[in-house]
Structure 1
Amino acid sequence: MKLIEIAAIGQNRELGKGNAMIWHLPADLKFFRQQTQGHAIVMGRKTFESLPKKLPGRHHIVISSTMPASEDVEVFESLDAFFDAYKHHDQTVYVIGGGMLYGELLPYCDELVLTHVEAADPQAEVFFPAFDLDDFVVEPIDEGVDGGLATRHVRYIRKK
């Protein structure tokens, strides 16, 4: 399994507040869809509940000890159970949140795909974990303006 964390983060690694994303970034939502389409996405229960609906074209995996099993969503009670089930899978799995899950899975991630938003929100409640740049090869993808804010998409590939 190849594990990739994908997120849009502010200047202070802000992710969200009130169980929602901080900024509305239409181009980044399209980028997210392009990156994750056809792949499995893993998330915590709160992130799953924050989705307006299941994201089409992606297999949904939720890590939660309290969420009941579902026909169309794979639920694991723990990270250990998830790893046991997926360790021999030859597929890419994207981690899409929340903050706690990003932190717990960061040591196991092969890549990070981050949208750096040139803004800060002092009201943020959830943050992306700090990581050591020396552990990664940095590959800029693109940059632009999205929702009135400067953004940069960057791929961080873990050094072997």
Structure 2
Amino acid sequence: MQELPKPWLNPMAYKKVRLEEARVEAELARKFLEQGLTRNAAGKVFQACKALVAALAVDKMGELEKMYSGVVKIRGGRRVKRSEWVIAIMPTNHLKEVAMMISDKVNYMASIAILLHQYQYNGPDREGVLSPYRSDEAAENDIRLLINEIEGMLSTLSA
């Protein structure tokens, strides 16, 4: 995979690389599932969704500037718009909010991805305290669902 362009320098190149990242991460998630590596698959499908949201956020730059005003100082002392920084980093604590701005479907996908991210770290929990998934099988269902949703969306974007 090529180096990630900065969205403040070349937004369309950034979007293209993030879409490719989403595709590769979804493929890896599927392969991990086939090998019985459910928690690893959860992490990969989360990364795929995060990359997809970051790519789609490029098209919402104007709306993001209203939500995330101001500037952020980055490495090297350079200052960039906070909205561009959010797109570049796509912090997990901003993922849902950005996804909601993109579309209902992307919001739905991000919601599942965030639950799977929690499962990745905590595993299944029959009591539902540490994880929203009571079994690995329940998580596998959502991982497959999210892989299919991401691949479906990617196919429409590249068509």
Structure 1 or 2: more helix by fraction: 2
> Which structure has the higher relative contact order (CA within 8 Å, separation 6+)?
1
Q: TM-score, normalised by structure 2?
A: 0.28
Structure 1 or 2: more strand by fraction: 1
